[in-house]
Chains A and B, each alone.
Chain A
């Protein structure tokens, strides 16, 4: 009987890890569809960003109360998962609290108790934090969680994650409580509730909780690649690869720079050089891999949208929606590639089908969204790449912008003034 449980456990674990790994590789492939690679200069500054922003949650602390609740979830999640080591060892070897046995042999029983007690305290805190977060989302109805961006699946996604964490933490505490030989700090207080139950039933409760807990963890792990919760992994690489240049700097387009250079100085033009295929981004494969990793890193918290001047004043633009649309389109392209070995045109594109011209036109490039993002996502970068495609590929500009362009071209200023009057102010100075 015991051996069957062990084999079952090993099969379950292997399957869970295999599926998880497979999905992660698929996400990696999707991210690498992007054009440009990742900048990897100035490694020390990049690691500093990882420590401050991802590990240290620096931007989260702009809202201290939420930051502390989030920190509890995050620290709790990492530390409680150390207990998984013992659970895995027990599952594979068919033992019961194998570490406790070892710790006792070395006279460290009190250390084991201390560790499990810490896990239990964290588990209880995580439980409370999850309940507060559920209340915030569903009863207090915070504005940024009520937006249409989250209609349907995204809103459920957030609730599923919180409920899953509550279930996992409860199972962990029930499992410990049903183990009457132990007296840990939180679960011991639950033990009186189980006092009337005979030891056989308690044994079944403990084991059922143990199994449900580990199965729950495997399900949760495999849910990550489909969920906004993926940020718990991607926050780290995403802050590492974040641009180190001032936020105001747009990245250069050497292909256009060269076109202009060759027009001005034809003697520099290489013979037979092919003109670039396209300018800006129409679809996800025209974006950079960093843009695409941004899309997978987004946890849809909506801090960007809450700070966006266009969104605040009722325009259609929502930076969060830009990120969600990019991920949705990328997933669609990924599925297309799975089905056809390579991407086969589906007559759709990120621009127009997922993100409309009206949204793009509302952006004032103020960088508020970029500043807000706790994990260094830039919705602005995607907006600018799509704008470039609109103008340079489709010549799609409002009439006023076309006038502005022609004024710059003819009068060297965005307004229709005579270039000779540029220094007219000096006569009155």
Chain B
């Protein structure tokens, strides 16, 4: 499978339908790379003409801004917007809710105006349009799964239904945790917490959430954010090594089910 960059597409006189914004976790983190590859595979199989920025992509500035470092954020935003506008990008899809939030809500005021969608929304569209076809022996059918709402997808942007609809299209049994949707509990990574030790307390946030996920006794845990994925995987592993409940991104689940 060939993944083209914007530069390559431009050179061959092509314009992609959509830019796949991979994000730092999706680019570098070994676990998140699997999500990236799964989503790229889906795009490929669904016949979507897409491109990535490749080496020209840089951090959106989210962790810097949330930590309080507005200068660093503005520097990154300036560079990214120059690149994106230089390629006349119209539509962006991303597998990271933090990138999604910044690109969609915080770049426009700085001169970066794009249609930005999250990969769960894009997957829902592809399924509804019949561009994704599941294999007859879909291995997920009847399996139970609990979906963890990412704060930056859920409360921050009120996207609760798209990821659930995608899971339901696989005939999976969706089990909700006690705190879900607008009341969903954070995994503990947001606001640049991912990049520092937690403050003093009596429990880790990811353990609190992992316990809730385990309580549903689901076969799998679904996430739609690479950071939530890390936090919940760590939490579940910590709580119960033998249980071995896998935390999978929605893209990974779909990738395994398509023809």
A interface, CB within 8 angstroms of B = 245-250, 252-253, 256-257, 259-261, 264, 279-280, 307, 309-310, 312-317, 358, 361-368, 370-371, 384, 387-392, 397-398, 400-401, 403-405, 408-409, 412-415, 417, 419-426, 428-429
Contacts and interface: CB of A to CB of B under 8 A. Distances in A.
- Among B58, B69, B202, residue most surrounded by chain A Cβ atoms (within 10 Å): B69
A362 B61 contact: no
Nearest to A252: B109
Contacts of B105: 245-246, 248-249
Interface in B7-43: 22, 24, 26-29, 33, 36-37, 40-41
Contacts of B128: none
B63 A256 contact: no
A250 B205 CA distance: 23
Contacts of A405: 64, 67, 69, 72
Given A408-B72, A422-B27, A366 B151 contact: yes
The 10 A-B residue pairs with the shortest CB-CB distance in the complex, in nearest-first order:
A248-B156, A365-B191, A314-B202, A391-B68, A387-B68, A412-B58, A366-B186, A314-B201, A249-B105, A366-B151
Interface in B141-193: 151-152, 155-158, 182-183, 185-186, 188-193
B68 A364 contact: no
A364 B191 contact: yes
A309 B186 contact: yes
A388 B106 contact: no
Contacts of B185: 309, 312, 368
A404 B67 CA distance: 10
B66 A365 contact: yes
Nearest to A372: B183
B76 interface: yes
Contact of B24 (A314, A403, A415): A415
Contact of B68 (A257, A358, A390, A421): A390
B193 to A, nearest CB: 5
Contact of A310 (B57, B182, B201): B201
Contacts of A361: 196, 199
Given A315-B201, A408-B59, A252 B182 contact: no
Contact of B191 (A279, A363, A419, A420): A363
A362 B110 contact: no
B37 A400 contact: no
Nearest to B62: A414
Contact of B199 (A316, A365, A403): A316
Contact of A250 (B41, B55, B59, B65): B65
Contacts of B37: 425, 428-429
Contacts of B69: 391-392, 397, 405
A307 B198 CA distance: 18
Nearest to B54: A423
Contact of A279 (B1, B3, B70): B70
Given A264-B78, A365-B191, A429-B40, A392 B71 contact: yes
A154 B67 CA distance: 31
Nearest to A280: B68
Nearest to B55: A422
B199 A253 contact: no
Interface of B: 1, 3, 5, 22, 24, 26-29, 33, 36-37, 40-41, 52, 54-55, 57-59, 61, 63-72, 74-76, 78, 101, 104-106, 109-110, 151-152, 155-158, 182-183, 185-186, 188-205, 207-209
B78 A388 contact: no
A256 B70 CA distance: 7
26 contacts: A246-B105, A248-B157, A249-B106, A249-B156, A252-B109, A279-B70, A312-B208, A314-B203, A361-B199, A362-B198, A366-B151, A370-B155, A371-B155, A384-B68, A388-B70, A397-B68, A398-B196, A408-B59, A409-B75, A414-B24, A422-B27, A424-B27, A426-B40, A428-B33, A429-B1, A429-B40
Nearest to A360: B68
B178 to A, nearest CB: 12
B32 to A, nearest CB: 9
Contacts of A425: 22, 26-27, 33, 36-37
A423 B55 contact: yes
Contacts of A249: 101, 105-106, 156
Nearest to A389: B68
Nearest to B76: A408
Contacts of B27: 413, 417, 421-425
B188 A364 contact: yes
A303 to B, nearest CB: 11
Contacts of A365: 66, 151, 190-191
Contacts of B183: 307, 368, 371
B238 to A, nearest CB: 14
A419 B27 CA distance: 10
Nearest to B71: A256
Contact of A261 (B78, B186, B208): B78
Contacts of B66: 250, 365, 384, 387
B68 A388 contact: yes
Nearest to B193: A364
A367 B156 contact: yes
B67 A364 contact: no
A426 B27 CA distance: 9
B90 to A, nearest CB: 21
Contacts of A424: 27
Contacts of B205: 309-310, 312-313, 364
B57 A362 contact: no
Contacts of B200: 314-316, 358
